[in-house]
Amino acid sequence: MAAKKSASGANVSGDELLHYYREMLMIRRFEEKAGQLYGMGQIGGFCHLYIGQEAVVVGIEAAAKEGDSRLTSYRDHGHMLACGMDPKGVMAELTGREDGYSKGKGGSMHMFSAEKKFYGGHGIVAAQVPIGAGLAFANKYKGEDTVSFTYFGDGAANQGQVYESFNMAALWKLPVIFVVENNQYAMGTSQKRSASTPDFYTRGEAFGIPGAAVDGMNVLAVKAAAEEAVAHCRAGKGPYVMEVKTYRYRGHSMSDPAKYRSREEVQKVKENQDPIDMVKEMIAQGKHASADDLKAIDKEIKKIVQEAADFAIESPEPSVDELYTDIYA
């Protein structure tokens, strides 16, 4: 299947566009704050920001329903916010505090929410892919028509376990959507230098898994592509590969010197393809809100994020007795 064309927003209601604007801005402001807290020494260990990729998870969540599950790599804050996890709990986990989703023992890469069916947060590249297929197996076994959104990167797409998962998912017709978030880099390695073909959406073909590529900077295009993928899975036709072409603005993690790409390259994407600016433009074109209305939403979101940051700093460190709980021993 060929790449999909981008959507313009002309047939979409103002409420829907404003919802996407709000959701994407929430992720961006949260990530900016996380970056600041990291710089201030409030967050330790690893921290991988999602800035630039917001339309991917917001577009896909727009096609999800109650009971669907999701999991991803270490670049996971956006996925947690988009599925409705509490920004306070996520931020408190980043600062390693008791009120965090993993009681301060997991940090940025290791959070879970059984309630929201968010199954991590995985630091080992591609480790979440077989687990995502397993979650789809569980959904099917229980007779649900729910799907498993299994996100991984362009770098992870070259891992062997991805193809073992593809084989079993296709063999057993599991309702799993393999979402390749192609942000064009795996740490400092461009996909041009590491992938034998640039078309990740075709990677399931040998297993009979259909796929489609989509402009991951356009939230409406992502949602439309996700709806097709979801319909395929819910109809019992087995897995689907979605390649979402996106871009990360920040370094791989907070300790990335970014010598592998030029400032101009990043600047060009920010200026011409920013997912939040694109929705802002759609809102303006449809006259759904004024510039002042949008500023007010931004202010409201900044307040929520600031409250999450204050909460995360004020929350106590985990107590010593927590050392031996929730562990395999």
Chain contacts with Mg ion (rule: CB under 5 A) = 153-154, 183, 186
Name the one range near ligand TPP by CB under 6 A: 76-84, 119-127, 231-239, 287-295: 119-127
> Nearest distance from residue 257's CB to ligand TPP, in Å?
15
125 binds ligand TPP (CB under 6 A): yes
> Nearest distance from residue 84's CB to Mg ion, in Å?
25
Which of ligand TPP, Mg ion, none has residue 235 at its interface (CB below 5 to 8 Å by kind)?
none
153 binds ligand TPP (CB under 6 A): yes
> Nearest distance from residue 201's CB to ligand TPP, in Å?
15
CA distance 279 to 8: 9
Toward ligand TPP, which CB reaches closer, 96 or 153?
153
The angle subtended at Cα 129 by Cα 127 and Cα 132, nearest 5°, is 120
> Nearest distance from residue 108's CB to Mg ion, in Å?
17
Q: Within a 10 A sphere around the Cβ of 40, how many other Cβ atoms?
A: 10
Report residue 46 as tokens.
Answer: 């690893």
The sign one gets for the Cα dihedral 22, 25, 27, 32 is negative
Residues 245-284 that bind ligand TPP (CB under 6 A): 252
Q: Within a 10 A sphere around the Cβ of 2, how many other Cβ atoms?
A: 8
Report residue 177 as tokens.
Answer: 């959507």
Which of ligand TPP, Mg ion, none has residue 132 at its interface (CB below 5 to 8 Å by kind)?
none
Name the one range near ligand TPP by CB under 6 A: 6-14, 151-159, 286-294, 313-321: 151-159
Q: By CB under 6 A, name the one of 75, 77, 223, 245 that touches ligand TPP.
A: 75
> Nearest distance from residue 187's CB to ligand TPP, in Å?
5
CA distance 86 to 175: 27
Toward ligand TPP, which CB reaches closer, 232 or 252?
252
Could you tell me if 197 and 168 are in contact, meaning their C-beta atoms sit under 8 angstroms apart? no
CA distance 237 to 175: 8
- Report residue 326: phi and psi, to 5°: 55, 35
Name the one range near ligand TPP by CB under 6 A: 16-24, 118-126, 196-204, 236-244: 118-126
CA distance 56 to 213: 12
Which H/E stretch holds residue 291? Answer: helix 291-314
Could you tell me if 120 and 68 are in contact, meaning their C-beta atoms sit under 8 angstroms apart? no
Residues 163-192 that bind ligand TPP (CB under 6 A): 183, 185-187
110 binds ligand TPP (CB under 6 A): no
> Nearest distance from residue 180's CB to Mg ion, in Å?
9
Number of residues engaging ligand TPP in binding (CB under 6 A): 14
Q: Within a 10 A sphere around the Cβ of 112, how many other Cβ atoms?
A: 17
Residues making contact with ligand TPP (CB under 6 A): 73, 75, 123-125, 153-156, 183, 185-187, 252
